[in-house]
């Protein structure tokens, strides 16, 4: 069988160049001081700078000390925000704070690209070459969870289940979205009739998550709980299907958002689970890497909010799901629609905050629905679309160290 070789140095260089271009994208806001609405007009808004003062990090305040103004993230992300604030040599400089976090996020991105090159050597380059991925690297701290989630998938496929479960618990304690991966994990173990391994895996994942969260819950309960209450009580927010519908029909009242999003998520997840377990080809459950995209995509499509950096979650999983070179065209169509949405959200927020430039709510709603439709389209093409080649028939590639 023909084998193609990619040197590790080449992989890391591509990732480094992508990180450099992302940094250049944010440079306008660095120079202008991240002022609003200029940061929206120039598409360089970042939570890193915005939350530094808003959550008291510039005062070295513990991120979970306030019941009403704690950071809106799980503990690992909160600790990262706090520790990098302590590392800031100029305490009141949110620009330096951004630099510190951007450097660490760039390292995490490079690490994620490297893991992808080991897990999917045929298609790893799609991640650092995606314009919308490059544009989103420094918006938030999501890459901390992305790297650990990819590591968990890699270890699972190598049958190192305990370490995979520990990493998954860590990832859930960082951004929570990787909890969705427990569904395909359960399907794989059930398909193999390995119930004990499933129980053990879930138990280890839960225990690692619990041990990380326990000190925060014990000593700063209200601040720790804020993440969960905000997500439970939040209304339809930017990027969601529900928000788009409200923009398209502003004179109508919608009261189904909170319960509707949960019900829709459960129904679509159940449908996907039935498909993978009973209807799909066995190859689709031969590895955790392949079905993971489907369940995380369902989560993003049905969620009450879709932030631009979520593309960092789902793009690596989409690449892992690809089983044929024919999937590259649907991939770029989907990514193109994601890029349209990326531009639309910032220009809508520019108009929303009173800038002279921007787009209307109607246009933004259309961009949101286009993004959702493109996500569904890519998933259908990958899982049930044109006949894909089985994984073993794709020419193997190796990454050499």
- Domain extents in the chain: 4-400
Question: What pLDDT band is residue 8 in, cutting at 50, 70 and 90?
Answer: confident
- Whole-angstrom CA distances from 359 to 58, 62, 346, 354 are 34, 38, 9, 11
Question: What pLDDT band is residue 191 in, cutting at 50, 70 and 90?
Answer: very high
Rg of the Cα atoms in the chain: 21
Average pLDDT score over residue span 200-209:
98
- Global pTM reads 0.93
Average pLDDT score over the chain: 92
pLDDT at 397 over 80: no
β-strands 397-400, 4-7 pairing = parallel
Chain-centroid distance, C-alpha 296: 9
Average pLDDT score over residue span 82-106:
95
Average pLDDT score over residue span 295-307:
95
Q: Say what the pLDDT of residue 259 is.
A: 76
Average pLDDT score over residue span 188-212:
97
Instruction: Return the structure tokens found at 103.
Output: 């450097």
Question: What pLDDT band is residue 235 in, cutting at 50, 70 and 90?
Answer: confident
Query: Percentage of residues in the chain with pLDDT exceeding 90?
Result: 84
Q: Say what the pLDDT of residue 385 is.
A: 66
E strands, 18-129, are: none
pLDDT at 400 over 60: no
Average pLDDT score over residue span 166-191:
97
The region of weakest confidence among 193-202, 232-241, 307-316 is: 232-241
In DSSP notation, 15-71 reads HHHHHHHHHHHHHHHHHHTS-TTHHHHTT---HHHHHHHHTTGGGT--TTS-TTTS-
Token look-up 């994990």 returns 185
Distance between start and end Cα atoms, the chain = 21
Q: Say what the pLDDT of residue 257 is.
A: 65
Q: Say what the pLDDT of residue 283 is.
A: 87
């Amino acid at each position: 069988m023909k084998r193609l070789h990619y040197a590790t140095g080449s992989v890391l260089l591509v990732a480094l160049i992508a990180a450099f271009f992302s940094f250049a994208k944010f440079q306008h806001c660095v120079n202008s001081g991240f002022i609003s609405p200029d940061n929206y007009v120039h598409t360089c808004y970042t939570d890193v700078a915005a939350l530094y003062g808003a959550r008291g990090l510039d005062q070295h305040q513990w991120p979970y000390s306030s019941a009403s103004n704690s950071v809106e993230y799980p503990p690992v992300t909160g600790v990262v925000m706090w520790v990098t604030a302590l590392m800031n040599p100029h305490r009141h400089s949110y620009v330096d704070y951004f630099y510190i976090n951007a450097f660490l996020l760039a390292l995490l991105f490079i690490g994620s690209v490297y893991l992808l090159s080991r897990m999917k050597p045929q298609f790893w380059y799609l991640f650092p070459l995606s314009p919308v991925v490059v544009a989103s690297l420094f918006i938030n701290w999501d890459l901390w969870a992305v790297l650990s989630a990819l590591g968990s998938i890699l270890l699972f496929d190598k049958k190192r289940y305990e370490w995979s479960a520990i990493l998954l618990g860590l990832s859930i304690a960082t951004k929570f979205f990787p909890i969705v991966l427990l569904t395909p994990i359960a399907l794989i173990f059930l398909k193999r009739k390995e119930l004990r391994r499933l129980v053990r895996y879930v138990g280890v994942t839960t225990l690692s998550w619990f041990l990380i969260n326990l000190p925060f819950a014990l000593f700063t309960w209200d601040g720790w709980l804020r993440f969960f209450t905000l997500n439970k009580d939040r209304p339809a927010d930017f990027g969601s299907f529900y928000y788009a519908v409200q923009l398209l029909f502003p004179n109508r009242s919608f009261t189904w958002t909170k319960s509707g999003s949960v019900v829709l998520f459960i129904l679509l997840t159940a449908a996907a689970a039935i498909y993978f377990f009973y209807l799909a080809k066995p190859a689709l459950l031969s590895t955790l890497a392949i079905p993971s995209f489907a369940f995380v995509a369902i989560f993003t499509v049905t969620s009450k909010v879709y932030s631009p950096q979520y593309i960092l979650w789902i793009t690596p999983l989409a690449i892992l799901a690809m089983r044929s070179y024919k999937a590259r065209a649907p991939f770029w169509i989907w990514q193109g629609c994601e890029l349209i949405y990326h531009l639309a959200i910032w220009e809508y927020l520019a108009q929303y905050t009173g800038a002279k430039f921007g787009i209307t709510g109607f246009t933004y709603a259309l961009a949101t629905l286009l993004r959702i439709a493109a996500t569904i389209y890519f998933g259908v093409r990958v899982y049930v679309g044109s006949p894909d080649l089985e994984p073993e028939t794709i020419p193997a590639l190796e990454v050499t160290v």
